[in-house]
Amino acid sequence: MLELLNAESNSQTHDIPTMNSELTKLYDSQPYTAYTEDLEFMWRWTIYQDNKLVQEGCSLTLDASKRSVEHVMTFFNMKRQNTQAEQEL
């Protein structure tokens, strides 16, 4: 069973999903974009960098999804600023 789950997850594409009415954009500032999707029992959120999945998670409410994405984006942006500062040195 575990092998089947691993095979399925490895075969999935991690590009930005085709836009549909189920997705709500939470963040859009190059190079990052984030979406959330209501799955009825939870909200699944995903963050993409240059159209590649870099982080995903779930929350119980839309507001909690927004806060989670903001928290992760704060970390990613701080990390990116530090990397740019190091490259300038």
The verdict on residue 31 lying in a domain is: yes
The verdict on residue 55 lying in a domain is: yes
User: How many whole angstroms separate alpha carbon 83 and alpha carbon 3?
Assistant: 37
Q: Which of 9, 84, 34 is nearest to 1 (CA)?
A: 9
- Give the pTM: 0.71
**Using alpha carbons only, what angle is made at residue 48 by residues 59 and 39, rounded to the nearest 5 degrees?**
30
pLDDT of residue 68: 96
The verdict on residue 1 lying in a domain is: no
The verdict on residue 4 lying in a domain is: no
Q: What is the CA radius of gyration of the chain?
A: 15
pLDDT of residue 17: 58
Please state the domain count of the chain: 1
The verdict on residue 3 lying in a domain is: no
The verdict on residue 84 lying in a domain is: yes
- 60-65: long-range pairs with CB below 8 Å, 24+: 62/24, 62/36, 62/38, 65/26, 65/36
pLDDT along the chain (89 residues), means of 10: 39 52 89 95 96 96 96 90 77
The verdict on residue 59 lying in a domain is: yes
The verdict on residue 6 lying in a domain is: no
Provide the domain limits for residue 65.
Answer: 11-88
User: How many whole angstroms separate alpha carbon 41 and alpha carbon 56?
Assistant: 16
